[in-house]
Copies of this chain bind each other. A is one copy, B any other.
Amino acid sequence: MTNAREVKVGVLGATGTVGQRFIALLAQHSFFVIHALGASARSAGKPYSKAVNWKQTQPIPSAVREMVVQECVPEHFKECAIVFSGLDADVAGDIEQAFRTAELAVFSNAKNFRRDPHVPLIVPLVNTSHFSMIPQQQRLHSPPLKKGFIITNANCSTTAVVIPLAALERAFGPIESCIITTMQAISGAGYPGVSSMDIFDNIVPYISGEEEKIEWETLKILGGLTEGDDGLKAFDMHTKQPLRISASCNRVPVIEGHTECVSVRFARRPPPSPQQVREALQAYTSEAYAIGCPSAPRHTVFVHEEPDRPQPRLDRDYQAGAGVCVGRVRQCRVLDIKFVVLGNNVAIGAATSSIINAEYAVLKGLVGA
C-alpha cells in the first residue's frame, strides 16, 4: 500500500461536527491522506487545533493539528482528488457547486443536492449502481465537466432503514408499504444542536423535515434508473412498484445511534417468514465490501437473536458503526413483518458513508486520473 495508492483529500466544514468525524476517520485511512482543510472565514488562517472546538473522544490527530485551515474556495484544494463536505446546508449549495465546477469530486453529507435529478443519493451498502449517473451529471453541466461531480449520501435516519429494506427487496421482491418510527440520537442534530433542557428526561416527538426526508430519500435510493427516449437517465423513485412509506420521528436522550421500529408489507403473497427474513438480512452483502472498500463492513446487516437487541449503547460501535444491526424480527399483525434496526448516525449515517462512497469511486476508477 504505497504512494501509488495514496489519494489526497480535502475536508470542507472541517471544524464542524461532521467535519471532525471525517478527520478522525481519514487520519487513519489506508489510502486517503488529508491534504487540506476548509472552514469559514473566521477559522481560516488558524492551525486546525486553534480553529476547532474538538468534541471527539480521541485526541486531534497529529497529522492535522498544525494544518492551517483554509477558506472553502477551490484554489486551496487544487491538489486534492476528492473533497468531503461536512458543510451546513445554508452554505453547502454554493460551495459544493463551485468545487464541482472546479473539477473536483465532491462527496457530500449535506442535503442540498440530494433531490437534484442528476446527483446520485448513495448509501454505499445499497445503491452504488447509481454511480452510473455521473457521466450524465458531468455532460449536462455547463460547462461540461471532465472530473468534477457531486455524490451525496443520505440522511442518517434514512440510511439506517434503507439498508435492511434493500436487503429485503433483493431477497423477496418489492416492498409495498412500510411504517417507521424512529428514536434518534442527539448527535444527529450537530453541535450545539439540542438543548439539554429540551431532551433530558424527555422525548421530543418531532424533528423538522425528517419524516419527509425518510419518505422521499428511501424511494430515490431503492429505486432504479430509467432511460428515456431522449437517452437521458432518470431516477425512477421506485415507481414501477409503488412503495408507500410513513415515518414518525422522535428525538430521544441517547448520544449516538438511531433506533428504528419498522413494519413492512411485501408485494409477494404469501410474505416471507420471520426466519426467512432473518436469513436474508444476514446474507445481504454490499458491492462496496465485495470490491474491497476498506471502510465497508463485513456484515452489512448483523442480525441479533437476543430478544432485547440491538441497543444503541451496546451495539453502535460494532464494526466501527459501518454496518447496521437488526433484531426482533417477527410477524406484524397489521403488515407482514416487523423488526428493529440500529444505525450509527455519525458513522454509516454520515461521514462513513461518504468515505465508502469515495473509496468505491477510487477503486472503480471514477475519480480523476
Any chain B CB within 8 A of the CB of A261?
yes
Assign chain A's interface to a size class.
35 or more
Q: Is the CB of B253 within 8 A of A253?
A: yes
Contacts of A196 in B (CB 8 A): 186, 193-196, 198-200, 253
Q: Contacts of A183 on B, CB cut-off 8 Å?
A: 183, 203, 250, 252
How far is B307's CA from A338's CA once the two chains are assembled, in angstroms?
Answer: 27
Does A245 count as interface, using CB distance less than 8 angstroms? yes
Q: Check B259 against A250 for contact (C-beta < 8 Å).
A: yes
Q: Which residue of B lies closest to A327 (CB)?
A: B205
A183: nearest chain-B partner, CB-CB:
B203
- Per the 8 Å Cβ criterion, residues 113-162 of A in contact with B are none
> Which B residues are CB-close (under 8 A) to A199?
196
> A231 at the A/B interface (Cβ < 8 Å)?
no
Complex formed: what's the CA distance from A251 to B318 in Å?
21
Does A57 count as interface, using CB distance less than 8 angstroms?
yes
Q: Nearest chain-B residue to A176 (Cβ)?
A: B334
Q: Which of A4-12, A32-40, A66-74, A309-317 contacts B (4 or more CB under 8 A)?
A: A309-317
Copies of this polypeptide in the complex = 4
Residue A197 contacts which of B192, B244, B315 (CB distance < 8 angstroms)? Answer: B192
Chain B residue numbers with a CB within 8 Å of A195 are 191-196
Minimum CB–CB distance for A71 against chain B, Å: 26
Given contacts A254-B253, A317-B57, are A197 and B187 in contact (CB under 8 A)? yes
Query: Which chain B residue shows the least CB distance to A205?
Result: B340
B residues less than 8 Å from A245 (CB atoms)? 333-334
Contact of B333 with A246 in the complex, beta carbons under 8 Å: yes
Binary interface profile of A, 60-91, with partner B (CB < 8 Å = 1, else 0)? 00000000000000000000000000000000
Q: Is the CB of B255 within 8 A of A328?
A: no
Contacts A246-B332, A335-B246 given; does A252 touch B252 at CB 8 Å: yes
Verify A307–B194 contact, CB threshold 8 A.
Answer: no
Select which of B58, B246, B334 is within 8 A of A177 by beta carbon. Answer: B334
| B205→A311 contact, CB < 8 A | yes
> For window 294-321 of chain A, which residues contact chain B by CB distance below 8 Å?
307-315, 317-318
Chain A 18-73 interface residues, beta-carbon cutoff 8 Å to B: 55-59
New A-B contacts (8) at CB < 8 Å, excluding given A181-B181, A252-B252: A186-B197, A187-B197, A196-B253, A203-B312, A205-B308, A206-B307, A245-B334, A252-B253
Is A201 on the interface with B (CB-CB < 8 A)?
A: yes
Contact A332 B179 (CB under 8 A): yes
Task: Tell me which of B192, B311, B338 contacts A192 (CB under 8 A).
Answer: B192
Q: Do residues B246 and A338 form an inter-chain contact, with CB atoms below 8 A?
A: yes
A195 (CB) vs chain B CBs: closest residue: B192
A327 to B261, CA, bound (A): 20
4 A-B pairs closest in CB distance? A192-B195, A181-B181, A202-B313, A206-B308
